[in-house]
Structure 1
């Protein structure tokens, strides 16, 4: 199969022929139909986060089940599925407590005593975030995919696997936003726009978007923001606090920088909550002024919007199909696998919401 392989951080991905194994117990072989280019991939490609190499990045995908191994119960050949980078075992303390997205049980990964899932010229290709989606096929644990309505277009479905589940999850699961409340979203990329749309669905009265790029602020308004602010202005935090008479009920940071995490804390009102979903680089520290801890606010970290994957993903697909969730606006362009490096160059500039690779 063709795949985009990362052999060295900081270097372009290479389109290579890669061999993929047959599915083992509780494993699912998927023909990839669409995969989004996410800034999280870029963190590993550029070396901000470490990764075992060679590897095939990509983690925001949708496709069709080709084959399943023994003991697979949730999906069958022919099913349309969305993948998820954090497979869950279903029986550990985290899973039993409703925190499936935090599960790290090794049973969801193929053991070292088994053949590698991916090889190239006889050498192991390391699987990226349990998926390796920049390839014509994926071999994943059954709890890393979920079936969706076959009416759901693959390019929109792929976005559900990261950007949408993270942004919407930050609203529905982490914030538990109620009608009439206020929220501010920092960053109007794919995750931020999804959070804005989810806040609209949840019935927020005030939805603030903060981003440095005018075009993204325009997209935010289209997705449901009631107010937009320029992140480059030094007093943007004070502007938001003034506009909301003391701050918002919930703030969501979707950029991945210490400065924007601190801004999220600053603009949350007394007793409010700041949720950080962006990937802040290793070694970066978030600083909070001591007296602000007396304001009753909560600072919450979140992985993938604290999602309950098998329940939330089909629900989000339903929101799209009934017209509530706008995924069309999030997609900036559709490209071929061979154009992946150009797509990531565009992402580095911050200009596009989401590029999606389409497989025939």
Structure 2
């Protein structure tokens, strides 16, 4: 990365103090990302600039890339990331140069009613915190580049508020640590924070990608007496057993009956990690009376989930969300690190392929493999 002062068109303020980096830019939905020259700003008050070390390729990124989820282009995707602080803005008090951190896609103010009640992922000021007086990133023509979640981690560096970072212990390697910011925070958090799984519960997880495998591990750690992994691909189910699934089922038209055969009456807690109205409905259909289905997979705006009214009303079943696992990353990081160090949280084997930044499009292709859990790009 090299500093520039006059290479970018636009106002003098936008030209000054920017640094040239390489970013993987989404120009056209459905087309591969293009590695381009881009120019990143200096951090403003309360912000830090972070040099990217490793970034996970999340299925949310893939949905945006393919056009299944809407985003304004040009855009830089990427949000499941770990990096090293390389520049600190004014009034930053907790981070220093060289600190290794993960970024949270849900920055929280710590002061609104949701934050003070321990619901940081519901912060009422998240959108406000993403407003900035000038673009973080410009292309070679001086035009602003949109950033997914105001992060844009498919780049050599990115800028976020200090409050959107969480320090990472040295015991975690970068490829494992990046998973904590999204798939682990979501899957693990949904189990322990959202559904509050206990040793009395039977659990089913629909979708055995990164979020699903994190949920399976969390259910095992929480002591669930039975953990059923469900997926379309036998290869993913083979892997799921390694992470703690006690039973596996292929997703077929007989799924409800097959779950009932394993857990008569249905499961106590189910987790949908696919992002489909159909699988969300199935997560509800396999519940026991009084059970809760937690829907985690992102879906396009306007999608509707159909559920059986009788099961809802007469069976006291529930359907709920747990956005980003209802996590509290600053607190949860200590538990993640402890479980990782003790070997109860297996992050290393969740990374099923490693890619260099220039090969990021090949990484997305690898995500479509039946046995893929997480592809990680390292810098």
TM-score by length of 1: 0.96
Determine if the alignment matches structure 1 residue 98 to structure 2 residue 118.
yes
What is the SS of the residue equivalent to 2:294?
strand
Match for residue 2 of structure 1 among 17, 22, 42? 22
Q: Which residue of 1 aligns with 2:259?
A: 240
Q: Which residue of 1 aligns with 2:205?
A: 185
Q: Which residue of 2 aligns with 1:207?
A: 227
Determine if the alignment matches structure 1 residue 282 to structure 2 residue 301.
yes
Match for residue 337 of structure 1 among 342, 351, 357? 357
What is the SS of the residue equivalent to 2:248?
strand
Q: Which residue of 1 aligns with 2:39?
A: 19
Structure with max Cα Rg: 2
Instruction: Give the superposition deviation at 1:288.
Output: 1.2
Deviates more, 1:52-61 or 1:96-105: 96-105
1:309-342 alpha-carbon deviations (Å, 9 max, x no partner): 2111332122112211001121111101111112
Contact 1:5 1:56 in 2 (8 A): yes
1:77-96 alpha-carbon deviations (Å, 9 max, x no partner): 22111111111111122212
Give the distance between the partners of 2:147 and 2:333, measured in 1 at CA.
23
Q: Which residue of 2 aligns with 1:271?
A: 290
Give the distance between the partners of 2:104 and 2:236, measured in 1 at CA.
26
Q: Which residue of 2 aligns with 1:108?
A: 129
Match for residue 194 of structure 2 among 157, 174, 183? 174
After superposition, the Cα gap between the structure-2 partners of 1:101 and 1:333, relative to the gap in structure 1 and judged at 3 Å, is same
Instruction: Give the superposition deviation at 1:97.
Output: 2.3
Instruction: Give the superposition deviation at 1:349.
Output: 4.7
Give the distance between the partners of 2:218 and 2:114, measured in 1 at CA.
26
**Which aligned pairs between 1:3-152 and structure 2 lie closer than 5 A?**
3-105=23-125, 106-111=127-132, 114-121=133-140, 122-152=142-172
RMSD: 1.3
Instruction: Give the superposition deviation at 1:107.
Output: 4.0
Deviates more, 1:194-203 or 1:346-355: 346-355
What is the SS of the residue equivalent to 2:350?
coil
Give the distance between the partners of 2:246 and 2:312, measured in 1 at CA.
29
Contact 2:285 2:308 in 1 (8 A): no
What is the SS of the residue equivalent to 2:253?
coil
Q: Which residue of 2 aligns with 1:259?
A: 278
Instruction: Give the superposition deviation at 1:350.
Output: 4.4
Contact 2:235 2:370 in 1 (8 A): no
Give the distance between the partners of 2:160 and 2:372, measured in 1 at CA.
29
Aligned length: 356
1:90-138 alpha-carbon deviations (Å, 9 max, x no partner): 1122212222112241442243xx2211111211111211210111111
Contact 2:236 2:370 in 1 (8 A): no
Contact 1:36 1:159 in 2 (8 A): yes
Q: Which residue of 1 aligns with 2:269?
A: 250
Contact 1:101 1:309 in 2 (8 A): no
What is the SS of the residue equivalent to 1:18?
strand
Give the distance between the partners of 2:289 and 2:93, measured in 1 at CA.
47
Give the distance between the partners of 1:181 and 1:310, measured in 2 at CA.
27
What is the SS of the residue equivalent to 2:292?
strand
Indicate the structure whose relative CO is greater, using CA pairs within 8 Å and at least 6 residues apart: 1
Give the distance between the partners of 2:302 and 2:368, measured in 1 at CA.
21
Q: Which residue of 1 aligns with 2:4?
A: none
TM-score by length of 2: 0.91
Contact 2:217 2:244 in 1 (8 A): yes
1:158-187 alpha-carbon deviations (Å, 9 max, x no partner): 011111111101111111111232110000
Contact 2:69 2:299 in 1 (8 A): no
Give the distance between the partners of 2:196 and 2:93, measured in 1 at CA.
31
